[in-house]
Amino acid sequence: MPKIEVDITRCKGCEYCMIACPHEVIALSSTFAPSGYYPATMVKAEACTGCKLCAIVCPDMAIEVWK
């Protein structure tokens, strides 16, 4: 099963990954990261296809996709 890992020290919560994800797998966390932002997090792991669109659009290169 594919999964994503978000580096919360790099993520600034821009939401580009949420917009790019065709299956609504990503949402913003409800807790702050050390940087002061709400980082992206995987919320629907079973829906992830591993397409990597989230990682491609991330301007901070904070997302890794594992297949």
How many domains is the chain partitioned into structurally? 1
The residue range of the domain holding 25 is 3-66
Q: What is the pLDDT of residues 6-59, one digit of tens each?
A: 999 999 999 999 999 999 999 999 999 988 999 999 999 999 999 999 999 999
Specify the CATH number for the domain of residue 47: 3.30.70.20
Q: What is the 3-state secondary structure (H, E, C) of 38-67?
A: CCEEECCHHHCCCCCHHHHHCCCCCEEEEC
> What's the distance, Cα to Cα, between the start and end of the chain in Å?
6
Question: pTM of the predicted model, to two decimals?
Answer: 0.91
Interacting residues of 25 by C-beta distance below 8 A, sequence separation 6+: 4, 42, 43, 44, 45, 47, 48, 54
